[in-house]
Structure 1
C-alpha cells in the first residue's frame, strides 16, 4: 500500500492538495490495514485522513532547505530508467 506514497517536499511544481490528501489516505490505509473501512469505522477513518492531511500540509509548508528543487518530470524519468533496468529480461545465449 505505502509504495504509492511519494516525497512531496522540495519539488517544482509544488505538491498539490490532491497529492497531499492521497499520501495521507495511503498512510491511514497502511496503519489501519484496510483500503476501505467498514461502515462502523468510516467516520474515524476519514477523520484520520483529514488530520494526517493537515499535519502533512503543515510539515511541507514549514520545512526549509537550501537544496535546489527537484523537478517532477526529471525524477519520473529516473524512476522509469531504474524500473526498466530492474525488470529487463536477460538475453539467452544462443
Structure 2
C-alpha cells in the first residue's frame, strides 16, 4: 500500500509526509513513543533559525533602548542603572 502512495507522490515534500505518516503508524502499532513536537506541520510555515536569531536580537535591542530611555528620563532604579553601566562597558546583559 505504501508503494502505491509513494509512486503517486508529486514532490519530495509530499513523499516526506507519506513516509512520516507510515513511520508514525508503525510506531503506534508497536507501542513506541514518538515525539512530534519538533516537526513543523507545514514546511513553509516553519520559521528559519536565522530569522529567529535576528528577531531575538531586535527584541534585546528594543529592551535595552527602553531601559536607556528610562534612565535618561530620570529613573535611577538599581536594575536600570546596572543595565546602563553594562551597556556602556560593552558587556552583554
TM-score past 0.5 threshold? no
Bigger share in strand: 1
Q: Which has the higher helix share?
A: 2
Give the structure-2-normalised TM-score. 0.26
Larger Rg: 2
TM-score normalised to structure 1 length:
0.26
